[in-house]
Structure 1
Amino acid sequence: MTAGRIHAFLAGDGRDGAGRRLADVLAFDDARIEGVHDFIQWCFPLPEASRAVPGAPVLTPDEAASIRTDAAAGAGLRAARDRMMRFYARTDGWLRPHDHNHLRITRILHALRDLLGRQEARAFHAFVLARNAEAGAPVSAKSLGYWANALAGD
């Protein structure tokens, strides 16, 4: 049994605020990943309100605890991470000094760290840093700092 709407979504049993299942979001092509802005809060929930998407879900401590102990929700979160890694591997638009994807990456790092553990967050962090390095390091030091802080838990 899932403990809340975010948990149900990540476990594959529920729908996000737009009525989509996790499988629907995972099937987005890269253009939809780039252009749709209300899915990331469901795939990578945080305990604070989104400033970018009013009304997006906020992760409660009880729901976070239930996600951490549910294999299906963990698998859903890993599938969302893998989808975003494919997006960041195949696209270059985010490889510039400032881009909305930098905020997404910060969110992903926070959620991975808090819900799956630091090792999962470190692996994602290493991936985005490698992509940035391959592209000649165009991402701003400010964004890189936010990513490091998200990984560290600051």
Structure 2
Amino acid sequence: MDEPIRDFLRGEGRDGRGRRLAEVLAFDDARLEAVHDFIQWLFPLPDPSQAVPGSPVLGAAEAASIRADPRAREGLRAALARMARFYAATDHWLVRHDHNHRRITRIIAAARDLLGREAAAAFHAAVLARDREAGGVIDPVSLGYWERALG
């Protein structure tokens, strides 16, 4: 069965640009900010990306396969940890509107669906804490999207 997202998260496959998971996780913070076509591979959803047409769309069977695959889940956990470090170490996204707010929504939703609510809630709590530290600057609409993504 062809499962490119699962294979990528396992560290065996390549994303649409030919990168392996380890390469993407090794991006420095500046590259994570500048590159926009990796997040859909790290945090797949069943809906097409509006930001990056042609990105992978997660089907129900592949989602079930990821949930059942310890290596794919470990890759997803590593991606979640990397993005948590990115948002902890950078401040540019702590403004009213930023493309990272959509990324955060995607991360929360994918983590909830593929790793469980606890993993998604921990990430959600971390980004909310950063917003509070910055004086609560993020638009309430984005905060609402994050809350709904958590479920």
Report the alpha carbon displacement of residue 3 of structure 1 after superposing the two structures with TM. 5.3
Tell me the residue number matched to 2:22: 23
The 5 Å alignment of 1:40-79 reads: 40-79=39-78
Tell me, yes or no, if the aligned pair for 1:12 and 1:23 is still in contact at 8 Å: yes
Output the CA distance in 1 between the equivalents of 2:112 and 2:60: 14
- Name the structure 1 match of 2:4: 5
Residues 3 and 62 in structure 1, CA contact (< 8 A), matched pair in contact too: no
| 1:118 match | 117
Unaligned runs of 5+ in 1: none
Query: How far apart are residue 51 of structure 1 and its match?
Result: 0.6
Structure 1 residue ranges, 4+ long, deviating more than 6 angstroms after superposition: none
Q: CA deviation at 1:11?
A: 0.5
Unaligned runs of 5+ in 2: none
Q: Indicate the residue corresponding to 2:135 in structure 1.
A: 136
Instruction: Answer yes or no: is the 8 Å Cα contact 1:3–1:66 preserved in 2.
Output: no
Q: TM-score, normalised by structure 1?
A: 0.96
Alignment-derived partner of residue 86 in structure 2: 87
Residue 34 of structure 1 is matched in structure 2 by 33
Q: Count residues with an aligned counterpart.
A: 151
Q: Measure how far apart 1:7 and its partner are.
A: 0.2
- Under a length normalisation based on structure 2, what TM-score does the superposition of the two structures give? 0.98
